[in-house]
Structure 1
Amino acid sequence: MNDMAKNVLLWLIIAVVLLTVFQSFNPRGSAAQDMPYSEFKQQVQNNNVQSVTLSASLPTTVTGKLKDGTPLRSVIPVSGDDELQPLLDKHDVQVRQEPSDNGVSLLRILLDWVPFLIFIGLLIWFMRQMQSGAGGRGAMAFGRSRARLQGEDQVKVTFADVAGCEEAKEDVKELVDFLRDPGKFQKLGGKIPRGVLMVGPPGTGKTLLAKAIAGEAKVPFFTISGSDFVEMFVGVGAARVRDMFEQAKKHAPCIIFIDEIDAVGRHRGAGLGGGHDEREQTLNQLLVEMDGFEGSEGIIVIAATNRPDVLDPALLRPGRFDRQVVVGLPDVRGREQILKVHMRKVPVAADVEPMVIARGTPGFSGADLANLVNEAALFAARENAREVGMSHFERAKDKIMMGAERRSLAMSEEEKRLTAYHEAGHAIVGLSVPDHDPVHKVTIIPRGRALGVTMFLPENDRYSLSKTAIESQLCSLYGGRVAEELIFGPEKVTTGASNDIERATRMARNMVTKWGLSDAMGPVTYGEQDEEVFLGRSVTQHKNVADETARKIDEVVREILDSAYRRTREILTREIGKLHAMAQALLQYETIDREQIDAIMAGREPGPPRDWRAPSGGAGSGNGGAAGREAGGTVGAPAGQH
């Protein structure tokens, strides 16, 4: 018995129960006991009947009660009984006659037919819900596709709205030509590609690029998320895949866009991450629909993911996702183009230079840049400005990269002084070691979870790091801890450098085990124990590393970190005067930028920053926080705090 038959049977049972309940409230029903007419006459002759009521309709119904209070009910034969009335008068029985009802009572009609009308209405509604299910919204439409269809004229996005990924746009422009004129390629034996997989970090514009393909080709566009296929009932996801392709065939040529396909396309039988019958059945159905016995001509499936490593190999073979388009993070020119696209929507002042902003935002994705423009517009709106100026963009960039200011957080003067020396240590070491990103800004205003922040920005986009650059980063990470130790003594060292130490340790271990940058261990990758949580339990995967090798790795990592620590101590001991000068400037101005930092390193007196305002008073000028420094002492691009 299929699901529809089961549901119809269930509703029939409910209808029977409802009719029974309504029948129990029918006013024509009575608690009186029916008795034969002959017995009724005998009761009258025995003087046992107190009163009766005769109905107006035929056959005449006699209702009443006996002298002992027992109700009675009987029916006079259709032929009638002329002796009944004299008999009732003789035995002093009270007789009432119901008035005749020539018409049909509206109340009677309602009482008789409303239950049936309600039942019929519910049945019609239920059948329509089962048959509709448009977009999967029907009551029982579990197997209907949840893909949302946008018509040819509804998609307004074009390639002009997509910036920062010129190579990816070139890769997908051929799809537009396929959809516009497939015969041009078929004459030469070419086939329209069945699938395109867009791979890239979050926020790089994969979904936007898919919409632009549909907008340029002027074809219907189905959009759905990979999680929309997976349900708790086995087989529902596969049914939705079948229904989605059936709908797409009716609108071919068209585009199906599946966002976050890794939710349903994970490697089958992978163990950790979970084998899942429903997900695997859905994936199997998707594989069959894309390249099975029945081809889906005219349908292009575009999928997006930032986890291509977990996808099933069957999805990536030729005939399924024939092409992989990498949508990576934009370079400086790409960031400039993206900023110009988003700046069209806001009134921008004449002093705003997109290239300057692009150079100061390495590692930003398209979504990050859109957020930057939005935050700058919000800063301008708070000031009731008519245009968004360069200062608003600078403040928005600081907020995104370093966190929002927490000026209401009060702290003691001793804590402020310690934070100033900590951040000054990061900055001076970073400026004193080779191949290190230049310091952009230093602040002791609490931002986000950090009590103070030192921001490093590269002059150009970086795609790899040399051994010298990594060793220099290790030194700058230790700069805050060493500065505390030199100025306040070993007993006054705080926990503020915990995040710096953690990141330095991880970086040094990667030098030894992953990047092959250790002379002692050589250019070899060493796998170590990896811990993963699966089904609420901690699962440790043991790699092929001997105990002696693991011990030697620990020794080499410790040696790298000790060397960086000693080198940092030597630098700050030599530059102790500059350390004091920078800490004093931070205590006075709270935030110093590149101009003040260069003046301090050159031995000159730093002036106030351009946007500095003298504090109007108050406790501690609003700086401080209890545990901010351990959330990150330095900030660098592109990974944020470092």
Structure 2
Amino acid sequence: GGHDEREQTLNQILVEMDGFDARATVIVMGATNRPDMLDPALVRPGRFDRRITVTLPDLDDRMAILKIHMKGKPFEDSVNMHAVAKNTVGFSGADLENMLNEAAILAARAGKTKISDIELEEAALKVTIGSERKTMQSEEEKKMTAYHEAGHALVASNQEEMDPVHRVTIVARGGSLGHTAYPPQRDRYGETNTRLLAMITSALAGKAAEELVYGVTTTGASNDIERATQLARAMVREYGMSSLGPIAYHERAERNWIAKELGSTPPYSEAMAAKIDAEVAKIMENSYKDALSILKKHRKTLDAIVEALMQTETLTADEYNKILESNGSTPINKGYGQKSIA
């Protein structure tokens, strides 16, 4: 079976590595994105005994990667690559290369001789969300999508821990009918419990807006709910951010891959599992109530955002912020007022 094949592969690797002459200048290198699944015999001293963790590139790394892949591509003088690097937090080296290649293709299709910010932003969206696609939505369905996205944006702007809204659109991309972007303003290496709660509240705001306006909700919120639930569950089970205290309740990946495949019993009782579920549900319910409360308080602004989206389909950060300010709903989140660039 599969276990026999894996054991044979592992044993063969170990035999080959043990067969090298100690004086031979041979270095064995390997790479994996699942180090937790490696057999301990493979990573003990004398085998793969030095580990190098390669994380996603930070700001300086992204600048260096962009400079490499910019070679041979003409850019408009107005393009600020430092700004591009700043607004691509979470992109891998391959993502950045793909983004620049896509931007070059878009510029060529448009008959341009140089790549501009417009192509770079469109390419970044294509990498992260997917290609723009046409839909046969009715005006009412389109309006419901607008309320959904406006809900995300408005609640995010009223959460101090959230990053500023960069773009709101009801143009369908990939598997979504719309998108609200509030990219990180800087590289983050950890999150506070208040920011995680703000992220959950913002994720549930699309569903809350649908319920507030129409009294019903759509399947479009399924991905938002899944993402929010994952965050809430991580807060309770992994980060100790609940009334259950600073205890880890998550099942750690087994070192022994055979035990992992055969299944293992969670390190807590069924009664504790019920308490964990109750804590997760409480976080979700409270966050949803918070989202509804914010939307009710700023209902006039919500309607104004939707009206603008129905006219233009996409709002930039400046256009969005002007709507909020003109309706007395100036954003309170950190970083508001900083220049947001593609």
State TM-score, norm by structure 1: 0.48
Q: How far off its partner does 1:318 sit?
A: 2.8
1:598 shift after superposition: 1.0
1:542 paired to 2:262 = no
1:321 corresponds, among 39, 44, 48, to 48
Which residue of the partner structure matches residue 464 of structure 1?
A: 190
In the alignment, the residues of structure 2 paired with residue 320 and residue 348 of structure 1 have an alpha-carbon distance, to the nearest angstrom, of 48
Partner of 2:290: 567
User: Which of structure 1's runs of 4+ aligned residues deviate more than 6 A?
Assistant: none
Q: Which amino acid in the other structure matches residue 477 of structure 1? A: A
Note the C-alpha offset of 1:274.
4.1
* Aligned position for 1:406: 133
* Equivalent pair of 2:300/2:327 in contact (CA under 8 Å): no
- The change in CA–CA distance for 1:421 and 1:282 in structure 2 (over 3 A counts) is closer
Mapped partners of 2:186, 2:174: distance in 1: 27
The answer (yes or no) to whether the contact 2:164–2:182 under 8 Å persists in 1 is: yes
Distance 1:322 1:560 in 2: 42
Aligned pair 1:424/2:150, yes or no? yes
1:275 to 2:9 alignment? no
Distance in 1 (CA, whole Å) between partners of 2:185 and 2:201 is 20
What's the counterpart of residue 190 of structure 1? none
Match of 2:37 among 305, 310, 314: 310
**What is aligned with 1:601?**
324
User: Within 1, Cα distance between the matches of 2:251 and 2:80?
Assistant: 48
Q: How does 1:442-461 map to 2 (within 5 A)?
A: 442-461=168-187
From 24, 27, 40, the counterpart of 1:297: 24
Q: Deviations over 1:19-50 (max 9, x none)?
A: xxxxxxxxxxxxxxxxxxxxxxxxxxxxxxxx
Q: Percent identity over the alignment? A: 46
CA deviations over 1:591-620 (Å, ceiling 9, x no partner): 001001111121269xxxxxxxxxxxxxxx
8 Å Cα contact 1:289/1:295 also seen in 2: no
> Is the 8 Å Cα contact of residues 406 and 448 (structure 1) preserved in structure 2?
yes
Q: How many residues align?
A: 323
More helix by share: 2
Structure 2: gaps of 5 or more residues: 329-342
List runs of 5+ in structure 1 lacking aligned partners. 1-272, 606-642
Which of the residues 112, 125, 132 maps onto 1:385? 112
| Residue type at the aligned position of 1:384 | G
Q: Structure 1: how far apart are the matches of 2:61 and 2:21?
A: 42
- In 1, the alpha carbon distance for the partners of 2:89 and 2:236 equals 27
SS at match of 2:292: helix
* Residues 163-198 of structure 1, C-alpha deviations (whole Å, 9 max, x = no match): xxxxxxxxxxxxxxxxxxxxxxxxxxxxxxxxxxxx
1:309-337 CA-partner distances (Å, limit 9, x unpaired): 22222332333334222221110111011
CA contact (8 A) 2:99 2:123 kept: yes
Does the 8 Å contact 1:529/1:543 carry over to 2?
no
Q: Does 1:493 align with 2:217?
A: yes
Q: Matched residues in 2 for 1:525 and 1:465: separation?
A: 17
Q: How far apart in 1 are the matches of 2:43 and 2:322? A: 56
Equivalent in the alignment of 2:278: 555
Q: How is 1:22-37 mapped onto 2 (pairs within 5 angstroms)?
A: none
Are the structure 2 counterparts of residues 323 and 528 from structure 1 closer, same or farther at C-alpha, using a change threshold of 3 Å? closer
Deviation at 1:436, TM superposition (A): 0.9
Distance (whole Å) between structure 1 residues aligned to residue 319 and residue 250 of structure 2 = 46
**After the TM superposition, which residues 76-155 of structure 1 pair with which residues of structure 2 at under 5 Å, given as runs?**
none
Cα gap change, 1:437 to 1:326, in 2 (>3 Å) = same
Corresponding residue for 2:97? 370
Q: How does 1:511-530 map to 2 (within 5 A)?
A: 511-518=235-242, 520-527=243-250
1:361 equivalent in alignment to 2:109: no
Q: Distance in 1 between matches of 2:152 and 2:230?
A: 18
User: In the aligned structure 2, how far is the partner of 1:528 from the partner of 1:308?
Assistant: 16
Structure 1 partner of 2:338:
none
Q: Which has the higher contact order (CA 8 A, sep 6+)?
A: 2
* Aligned partners of 1:529 and 1:541 also within 8 Å: no
SS at match of 1:521: coil
- Go from structure 1 to structure 2 and tell me whether the alpha carbon gap of 1:364 and 1:562 turns closer, same or farther (over 3 Å shift): same
CA shift, 1:293, in A, is 7.0
1:589 deviation in Å? 0.6
- Quote the offset at 1:473 in angstroms: 0.9
Distance 1:330 1:470 in 2: 23
- Closer, same or farther in 2 for the Cα pair 1:338/1:563, shift >3 Å? same
**1:575 positional shift:** 0.5
CA distance in 1, matches of 2:9, 2:219: 50
